[in-house]
Structure 1
Amino acid sequence: MNSILNLKRFYVITLVLVLGVISGSCETDELEDPSIENVNNELALTVSEENLELEERFMGNELGFTWSTGTNRGTGAAIMYTLEIDLAGSDFSDPLITLVEGEKNRYLASIDHGTLNHRLLNSGLDAGTVYDLEARLTAEVADPAVEDQVSKKAFSVATYKPVSSKLFIVGDASPNGWDISNATKLTAANQRGVFIYEGKLTEGNFKFAVSQDDCFCQDFYTKDADDDNKIVYNEGGSGEDIQWTVTEEGNYRLRVDLLNKTIDINPIEDSPFDRLWIVGDATKSGWDINNPAAFERSEEDPFVFTYEGNFNPGSFKILAGETGDFCGEWYRPLENGQAPVDGSVEQRAGCEPDYNWTVTEETAGRYRVSLNTGNNTIKFTPMGLYIVGDGSPSDWNINTPMPLTYDNGDFVFNGELGAINPTGEFKFSKSVGDWCNGEWIVSAENGQAVTNPEHITAIGCVGPDNKWKLQEGDAGTYEIRINLDTDNMTITKL
């Protein structure tokens, strides 16, 4: 958090300096490109942290760069900027990273710690090593009579080895014993580095392997000698092989956090049902009792089931257990025609009384529905969709982004793209106020053309952090329609 606050202060201070340089070097403050009348400004590059130790748990933090305008020697020609990163002392013939390439009106750039680490390792650098790097900013003036200007800034980065994307439980307390090749895989949570196991454990011991390679020389996570709730990373099977011990057979829930190196072990009771379904003409299921849309069971609480979807005028109820029977097990409101609001539910089998929730024109929209089968309560959370990015009207303000309008199942943006930055970027958030807490609708490829509606869903800061990018001439008025139920998107320039 301190790193984020420091980066924000860095941007504010350096932006003031840049604006000061701009205002001092221009004859008028109405010029769109402050480099047009720039005569003698010296190109200067600044980095937010000169000695950076990357940590995977803070992968969303950013390393920032800002720079002054440089000079066009009064020619009135535009200045294009290229920002590259390479090993210190290199000639930049094949830079490790190119952050900015030939862009006008650009005076800052940033890269998040996770992306920086990934790109350094992909370039052949080693994890767990400190490297002396250098950032090189090149200012190229459109008038060939003006020489290029270069500013360099040295800094160091300590890389890290990313945690495993898979985790397996092995041991005589686990379902498949000490057979690593058949070890039980844990479920990856929606939080980076977190894995969940729910199921039976017998008397005995267990630990965690990162693969099903049949070798005890692979990487393991074992118990901390001083704390049962802490884990230790044993690379290549090194270190003390201290295991967790199960003294009482039963059903357990294990939550393993590889980034914070913690483990929670809790006995669990079972929910009365392992599947829930939504049924009704207010939802995409309609009244199809055989193929309704399913709820997702929480990885954190086995009693909680969640469904997210569009709700149009109509009725619905919640089926439990098996599909195909209108007189089967149901969760219903306490009275018929109940609005989609938080409250208690009744669980009973049979066709009567056939109470349903009712959605009206006024209450239609997209909701996240959470039903707790442990205490028979339900929660309805209205969901929105927001456009974010310097190519959008919101800029990069996640606290007050521009909401899209809900229209009969579609979220609709109708407005200007490129007004803030004609070559800016944008993506869509399903939440407000936190970059890493929620889902994003992002382009299928980073830097994707604004006319290409191909998209994917990304979770929090886990990424990928893809964005649509406006090119020269793309700025204008657009209608963007997104239906999260059908996963359909259209982008139309008006």
Structure 2
Amino acid sequence: MKRLYMMMAALVVCITLCAQQYQELWIIGTAVPGGAQKLTKVSDNDFKYAGRLKAGELRVATAKKVGKRTTYLVADAPDANIVNKGIGYTVTTDAKQAAWQVVVTEERYRFHIDTEKKQLRGELFQPWGELFLAGGATEVGWKADGKMLLMKQNLNNPCIWTWEGELKRHPEVEEPGSFKFLGQDRYHPKSIHPYAADTDILKDKRFHTGGADTKWTLSCDGRYRITVDLFNETIEAVLLK
């Protein structure tokens, strides 16, 4: 009997965990341009939206169209604003309870849904004034205080930054093939990082803002052109030679 109870408990845990592995999530409502938009699945536990929202309400749903099996992620706080530092959510089938509030119409809303922590975190993104590159794979190493490599801001889109130059392993320094990007010529407070440590800059275009101090790494030395889109949280590197 005890073994049966243990198996049932394990089954319940398994079902609970599997329920959070959503294949897709949507936002629908008066705040959503076009009425419905699919969120970007960044990883198994991370869904993202980056773009325009209108003043109104939105609901985070498991389907584009409302149906009997549609579930919603409802905030654990009344009248929750989509711009927040992290609000937990629970799952409901009652659409009336599930509205998140968008106060003003703006072009650069961005929010992430962490389905492992069951939390939504959102912001009105403001372009950064600087973006720097530093690390063991650069000519400046890990030096700060004015020694980092300044990237060039796009005149037409202030969220896009580019840099071109040589990256190579420097065996004499710590983490000789690694590097990262900072929003100032020191290590805090703003920085961006790959989702996994030692990510090959040529193979993964994703990054997250802040969080764990993971770094990119080189698969080969050479001259690179790197483009960072801070708003959409994407990075593209081209090995020129």
Give the TM-score of the pair, scaled to structure 2: 0.52
Question: Which residue among 219, 222, 228 is the counterpart of 1:485?
Answer: 219
Output the CA distance in 2 between the equivalents of 1:198 and 1:361. 39
Q: Which runs of 5+ in 1 are unaligned?
A: 1-49, 52-86, 89-130, 134-154, 273-302, 317-337, 380-436, 442-456, 458-482, 487-494
Q: Report what 1:194 is aligned to.
A: 46
Output the CA distance in 2 between the equivalents of 1:201 and 1:167. 17
Output the CA distance in 2 between the equivalents of 1:484 and 1:360. 11
Output the CA distance in 2 between the equivalents of 1:306 and 1:165. 35
Question: Which residue among 226, 229, 232 is the counterpart of 2:90?
Answer: 232
Cα shift at 1:241: 2.8
Q: Report what 2:121 is aligned to.
A: 264
Q: Report what 1:346 is aligned to.
A: 150
Q: Report what 2:66 is aligned to.
A: 215
Deviations 1:169-199 (CA, angstroms, capped at 9, x unpaired): 222212331x4xxx2323424xx53322222
8 Å CA contact retained: 2:24, 2:38: no
Report the 3-state secondary structure (helix = DSSP H, G, I; strand = E; otherwise coil) of the residue aligned with 1:173: coil
Output the CA distance in 1 between the equivalents of 2:133 and 2:50. 18
Deviations 1:209-229 (CA, angstroms, capped at 9, x unpaired): 2234x3343122123354722
Report the 3-state secondary structure (helix = DSSP H, G, I; strand = E; otherwise coil) of the residue aligned with 2:51: strand
Distance 1:271 1:175, change over 3 A: farther
Cα shift at 1:203: 1.0
Q: Report what 1:169 is aligned to.
A: 27
Give the TM-score of the pair, scaled to structure 1: 0.28
8 Å CA contact retained: 2:57, 2:100: yes
8 Å CA contact retained: 1:175, 1:201: yes
Q: Which runs of 5+ in 2 are unaligned?
A: 81-86, 154-163, 189-194, 205-216, 221-241
8 Å CA contact retained: 1:207, 1:223: no
Report the 3-state secondary structure (helix = DSSP H, G, I; strand = E; otherwise coil) of the residue aligned with 1:211: coil
Deviations 1:373-426 (CA, angstroms, capped at 9, x unpaired): x324579xxxxxxxxxxxxxxxxxxxxxxxxxxxxxxxxxxxxxxxxxxxxxxx
Distance 1:238 1:359, change over 3 A: closer
Distance 1:359 1:168, change over 3 A: same
Deviations 1:152-173 (CA, angstroms, capped at 9, x unpaired): xxx8533333211422222221
Deviations 1:72-104 (CA, angstroms, capped at 9, x unpaired): xxxxxxxxxxxxxxx84xxxxxxxxxxxxxxxx
8 Å CA contact retained: 2:134, 2:140: no
Output the CA distance in 2 between the equivalents of 1:357 and 1:371. 14
Which is greater in Rg?
A: 1
Q: Give the fraction of aligned pairs with identical amino acids, expressed as a percent.
A: 15
Report the 3-state secondary structure (helix = DSSP H, G, I; strand = E; otherwise coil) of the residue aligned with 2:97: coil
Deviation beyond 6 Å, 4+ runs, structure 1: 303-308, 354-358
Kindly tell me the number of residue pairs found equivalent between the two proteins: 172
Q: Does 1:247 align with 2:122?
A: no
Output the CA distance in 1 between the equivalents of 2:128 and 2:133. 14
